């Protein structure tokens, strides 16, 4: 009830608490850096990412090619910019997929309880019983390879997490007085769930969304590394690592830089997620910091 009353100031306090956390702010910088590279990078880099230049194969980092070139003479920095953009798009779309489906299923399960709850949550348990990469490659084996299917596969992998978290929070708030009051005022189930229950269950969902954005980037890079995600010649960070691995002893930059890009993105989202968790949960204050 208190949260609802002071809705605005609750999130303002959270932002204030978050800003005080130096590590979380650092994470925000990492994410901003990665997002800006993905958005702006493709427009400022001097080389098209697919341009082949066989006279300049495996050139080490220099002023012409800041991060060197690959086995086709393609500029590594340009490809990292494009790959980062692709990773971010896949990550945002797949997490949106799991957020939309997982949150809806979890809210319905938690709100209605009984057999609906049992049915939905047992299905989620079954999906949860598959390790992430294995579930994703199984889904891709059915749907076929490619970026769209990778988005669906990663989306399905993270759906049960959102369903569980939402269900837990919804069960926590559904019996509270303000929900009963809304019902007494004649609000229907859909209105109660979307206007009263979900907004008050948001905190853990926000944290999980941030963390999942990082893990989705990891999953996408793993799938592309295995050749099941992005198809050549489209640059993707995972694919760059798998192609660069053959030439790595003579051209280590092919193996190092795409990995650093993945690390920065994942680390950034993780730090923000941890910071949000601390800021949203007063019990944890001071524990998650350095």
Q: Which residue ranges make up the site for other proteins (CB under 8 A)?
A: 23, 122-123, 125-126, 129-131, 133-134, 137-138, 140-142, 214, 218, 221-222, 225-228, 238, 241, 245, 248-249, 252, 255-256, 259, 262-263, 266-267, 270-271, 287, 290
Closer to other proteins by CB, 76 or 192: give it: 76
> What is the closest distance, in whole angstroms, from the C-beta atom of residue 289 to other proteins in the complex?
9
**Maximum pairwise Cα distance, the chain:** 76
**E strand or H helix at 225:** helix 202-225
Closest separation in Å from C-beta 237 to other proteins: 9
Q: Supply the minimum distance, in Å, between the C-beta of residue 105 and other proteins.
A: 15
* CB-CB contact of 12 with 262 (8 Å): no
Cβ closest to other proteins, residue 90 vs residue 192: 90
**Residue 234 CA: distances (Å) to CA of 46, 51, 78, 80, 165:** 18, 11, 12, 11, 35
Q: Do 262 and 218 meet the contact criterion of CB atoms below 8 Å apart?
A: yes
How many angstroms separate the Cα of 165 from the Cα of each of 70, 76, 161, 184, 207?
43, 40, 6, 27, 10
Q: How far is the CB of 290 from other proteins (least distance, A)?
A: 5
DSSP-assigned states of every residue in 231-266: PTTS--HHHHHHHHGGGTTT-THHHHHHHHHHHHHH
Return the H-helix or E-strand segment holding 267: helix 253-280
Which residue lies nearer to other proteins by CB, 144 or 188?
144
**5 CB-side CA count, 13 A:** 4
Q: Closest CB to other proteins among 109 and 140?
A: 140
Q: Whole-number minimum distance, CB 86 to other proteins, in Å? A: 16
Shortest Cβ 39–other proteins spacing (Å): 21
What's the min distance (Å) between Cβ of 134 and other proteins? 6
Q: How far apart are CA 39 and CA 211, in angstroms?
A: 21
Give me the residues paired with residue 75 across strands. 69
Comparing CB distances to other proteins, the nearer of 26 and 187 is 26
Cβ 38 vs Cβ 88: under 8 Å: yes
Nearer to other proteins, 138 or 181 (CB): 138
Choice between 110 and 214, CB closer to other proteins: 214
């Amino acid at each position: 009830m208190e949260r609802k009353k002071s809705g605005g100031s609750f999130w303002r306090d959270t932002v204030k608490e978050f800003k005080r956390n130096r590590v979380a702010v650092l994470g925000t910088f990492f994410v901003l850096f990665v997002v800006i590279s993905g958005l702006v990078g493709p427009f400022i880099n001097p080389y098209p990412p697919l341009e082949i230049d066989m006279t300049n194969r495996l050139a080490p980092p220099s002023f012409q090619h800041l991060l060197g070139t690959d086995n086709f003479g393609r500029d590594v920095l340009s490809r990292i910019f494009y790959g980062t953009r692709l990773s971010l798009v896949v990550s945002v779309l797949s997490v949106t997929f799991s957020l939309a489906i997982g949150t809806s299923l979890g809210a319905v399960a938690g709100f209605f309880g009984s057999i609906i709850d049992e049915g939905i949550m047992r299905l989620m348990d079954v999906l949860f019983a598959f390790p992430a990469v294995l579930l994703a490659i199984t889904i891709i084996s059915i749907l076929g390879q490619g970026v769209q299917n990778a988005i669906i596969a990663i989306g399905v992998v993270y759906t049960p997490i959102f369903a569980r978290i939402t269900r837990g929070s919804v069960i926590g708030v559904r019996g509270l007085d303000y929900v009963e009051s809304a019902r007494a005022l004649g609000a229907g189930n859909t209105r109660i769930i979307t206007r009263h229950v979900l907004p008050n269950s948001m905190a853990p969902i926000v944290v999980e969304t941030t963390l999942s954005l990082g893990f989705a980037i990891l999953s996408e890079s793993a799938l592309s590394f295995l050749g099941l995600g992005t198809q050549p010649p489209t640059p993707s960070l995972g694919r760059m690592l798998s192609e660069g691995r053959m030439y790595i002893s003579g051209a280590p930059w092919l193996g190092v830089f795409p990995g650093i890009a993945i690390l920065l993105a994942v680390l950034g989202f993780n730090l923000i997620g941890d910071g949000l968790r601390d800021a949203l949960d007063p019990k944890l204050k001071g524990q998650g910091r350095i």
